[in-house]
Chain A
Amino acid sequence: DGGITQSPKYLFRKEGQNVTLSCEQNLNHDAMYWYRQDPGQGLRLIYYSQIVNDFQKGDIAEGYSVSREKKESFPLTVTSAQKNPTAFYLCASSTSGGDQPQHFGDGTRLSIL
């Protein structure tokens, strides 16, 4: 079945450590996105990519980095510079252009040890 796979479902980070969250899609979508959700809050955009080898910062990119080497994959690295990384991270994808909706994975919950 086509969809978006995020892994791991739960992730723990030690202070000063970088961690990478995986996002893979087999929907043949050009555009991919990373959002962060804090308890009781809506989603905030971290980074997005409309095409391979290109990506743009969203509203809260500080402390995060991404890469888009393959159409199917858009990993997010939470660096040690992100001082409050505990959150629910959601990856989404969509066709590029037009009114088609974004489709989301089931998220990765990141916690600090």
Chain B
Amino acid sequence: DAKTTQPPSMDCAEGRAANLPCNHSTISGNEYVYWYRQIHSQGPQYIIHGLKNNETNEMASLIITEDRKSSTLILPHATLRDTAVYYCIVRVVEWSSNTGKLIFGQGTTLQVKP
């Protein structure tokens, strides 16, 4: 699975959009981009994933560049409860089986400030 690079930390003002970048320059054609977050002492929470099209759900939006070498997770209106470590992961998707390993890097610690 491709390696990802994220900034170690970011700050965001409450109510503003939080834009979290991720570089995955060695991503291959069958690798999807997944985003999770982890609040201290809890299990990781799935946020969103995509292959090449931009995706949006009730939590966030995912913008993937046309060359797929980078992506941005957007939390449109950050709240204090969004303070967490955010992980960007790329994973090979095999439609017949799922070896499943998620490789979590160090992630980005997002601090939402009042």
B98, A97: Cβ atoms under 8 Å?
A: yes
B17 touches A (CB below 8 Å): no
Assuming the contacts A103-B46, A107-B42, asked whether A42 and B95 have C-beta atoms less than 8 A apart, the reply is: no
Q: Is the CB of A102 within 8 A of B94?
A: no
In the bound complex, what is the Cα–Cα distance between A64 and B65 (angstroms)? 41
Chain A: CB-nearest residue to B106: A42
Nearest-CB residue, chain A, relative to B42:
A106
Tell me if A105 and B43 are in contact (CB < 8 A).
yes
**Contact code string A15-58 (vs B, CB < 8 Å = 1, else 0):** 00000000000000001010100000111010010100000001
Chain A interface residue count, CB cutoff 8 Å, equals: 30
Give Cα distance in the complex from A31 to B38, angstroms. Answer: 21
Closest 6 pairs between A and B when the two form their complex, measured CB to CB: A42-B104, A104-B43, A43-B104, A101-B46, A99-B93, A106-B43
The bracket for how many chain B residues form the interface is 20 to 34
What residues of A have a CB within 8 angstroms of the CB of B21 in the complex? none
A-B contact pairs, 22 of them (CB 8 A): A4-B43, A6-B43, A31-B100, A41-B106, A42-B87, A42-B103, A42-B105, A43-B104, A48-B100, A50-B98, A50-B99, A90-B43, A90-B44, A96-B98, A97-B96, A97-B98, A98-B95, A99-B93, A102-B46, A104-B45, A105-B43, A106-B43
Q: Are B98 and A31 in contact (CB under 8 A)?
A: yes
In contact, A58 and B42 (Cβ under 8 angstroms): no
Within the complex, what minimum Cβ distance (angstroms) separates B89 from chain A? 9
A98 contact set on B, CB distance < 8 A: 93, 95, 98
